[in-house]
Amino acid sequence: MRERYYPLNSLKEGHWFKLICGASFQHLPAVRNLTLAYTLAGADCIDVAADPAAIAAAQEALEVASGLKLWAKSHGFGYQALPLIMVSINDGEDPHFRKAEFDPAICPTDCWRPCEKVCPADAIVFSETRDGLGDRLYSGVLDERCYGCGRCLPVCPQQLIQARSYVSTPTSIASLILQSGVDALEIHTQVGREADFQRLWNNIKPWVNQLKLIAISCPDGEGLVEYLYRLYEIISPLDCALIWQTDGKPMSGDIGAGTTRAAIKLSQKVLDAELPGYVQLAGGTNNSTMAKLEAAGLLVRKSQEKHQYPTNNLKTPISRNRFVAGVAFGSYARVLLSPILEKLENMHKLKLQAIQSAYATNGVNAEDINQPESKNSQLTKLETVPEILWEAVSLANSLVSQVKRLEINESLN
């Protein structure tokens, strides 16, 4: 049990790292490979869509990571214990819970397609050709890749792109908690939605005792502090750890270094409110975040670790917090590894083309044959290509290690 609770020690000691795969991101190979790379680099929590397939992909990656524990240590990576698996839900309309959509058939043929160029997830494509197996390549929004950043909406010259939003249902959430083995739940809310939050909480409350962590994510707004205190009253007493996620500028960390300022400013505001619980940044976090937190004096020093968060069995802190407990990285963490994952995907495509060529040589039409080996190639799995695995974990470690600067180097059996 010690190993399983190690992530909560990271939270208590002020060096918690969370990877956000995306509340709407359902590209399973990417979810699996991102989870594997950041787990081996030392992540404490993996946040995935509240979708059984996405959860299963992350859990499969954790199983693989367990078998690579010694490999990670021998390469000097930060793996200490398996991270918590978290799913995100919402109590109302939220930019994290939407997908872009449009009909490519009505797009002008002379359009320069800025939507395709601006999409950070390569979720918008246009093609009239076929792939190596004869399947017609898709045009439009690749639903599983879209995570709702919204950057395509304003750039369409004809304003043909729309956003399709959705709200989590209590029934599906209960099923995820009971059957999928998730460890933590994050609730996205906004100032003024107290009644919506209360309804959602009432529905999930019977299953909360099975969780190790609850996170509440809220952007800034007039009356924020008062709203968060009302939410704390609703969820109290809470028999697990509590995080206040300060969502500065959602899904923007890959845009530029300046996006992290909003997250830091909001974290200072929540820290000043002295709410019980831990404070963790998100929304615009990137490679500049830790240095800016250090400059702002918001990181706990090693000499202060033992006094940072007096707790009752690793649950919600008894005293008020004075420092940021951790940082969540979403779009920046994903884009950081995107060249590596793209390389892996290209290797997979080359194998498919080789299969197609082999069939053609033997006079067989590739379209007429069921080819499970091509659709589920081992080359889509990061661990099957050691040099790419090392490259991916090295990049992930370059980010995780910034948060883990105070990590105690302790070997776990």
Residue 381 maps to a domain: no
Say if residue 137 is in the same domain as residue 269.
no
Residue 388 maps to a domain: no
- Give how many domains the chain has, as a whole number: 2
Specify whether the CB–CB gap between 284 and 315 falls below 8 A.
Answer: no
Residue 351 maps to a domain: no
Q: What phi and psi, each to the nearest 5 degrees, are found at residue 148? A: 80, 25
Say if residue 203 is in the same domain as residue 112.
no
- Report residue 285 CA to chain centroid gap: 12
Beta strands in 161-301 (DSSP E): 162-165, 184-188, 213-218, 241-247, 278-282
Say if residue 249 is in the same domain as residue 181.
yes
Residue 413 maps to a domain: no
Residue 340 maps to a domain: no
Query: The domain that contains 59 carries what CATH number?
Result: 3.20.20.70
Task: Please identify, among 136, 165, 194, the residue that sits at the C-terminal boundary of a domain.
Answer: 165
Say if residue 72 is in the same domain as residue 209.
yes
What is the torsional sign of CA 318, 321, 326, 327? positive
Residue 270 maps to a domain: yes
Specify whether the CB–CB gap between 219 and 247 falls below 8 A.
Answer: yes
Kindly give the confidence (pLDDT) of every residue in the chain, 413 residues in length, as a single tens digit, with 9 standing for 90 and above: 334 457 999 999 999 999 999 998 999 999 999 999 999 999 999 999 998 899 999 999 999 999 999 999 999 999 989 999 999 999 988 888 888 999 988 899 899 999 999 999 889 988 754 444 444 456 889 888 998 898 999 999 999 999 888 776 766 676 766 667 899 999 999 999 999 999 999 988 988 888 999 999 999 999 999 999 999 999 999 999 999 999 998 778 778 888 899 999 999 999 999 999 999 999 999 999 999 999 999 998 654 544 444 444 445 544 456 899 999 999 999 999 999 998 888 886 666 556 555 555 655 554 544 444 444 456 689 999 999 999 999 999 999 999 997 443 333 33
Specify whether the CB–CB gap between 348 and 388 falls below 8 A.
Answer: no
Partners of 45 in beta bridges: 18, 84
Specify whether the CB–CB gap between 48 and 21 falls below 8 A.
Answer: yes
Q: What is the pTM of this model?
A: 0.87
Q: Which of 290, 276, 222, 212 is nearest to 244 (CA)?
A: 276
Say if residue 228 is in the same domain as residue 103.
no
Query: The domain that contains 155 carries what CATH number?
Result: 3.30.70.20
Task: Please identify, among 165, 191, 211, the residue that sits at the C-terminal boundary of a domain.
Answer: 165
Say if residue 91 is in the same domain as residue 105.
no
Specify whether the CB–CB gap between 137 and 130 falls below 8 A.
Answer: yes
* Residue 303 domain boundaries: 2-95+169-333+396-403
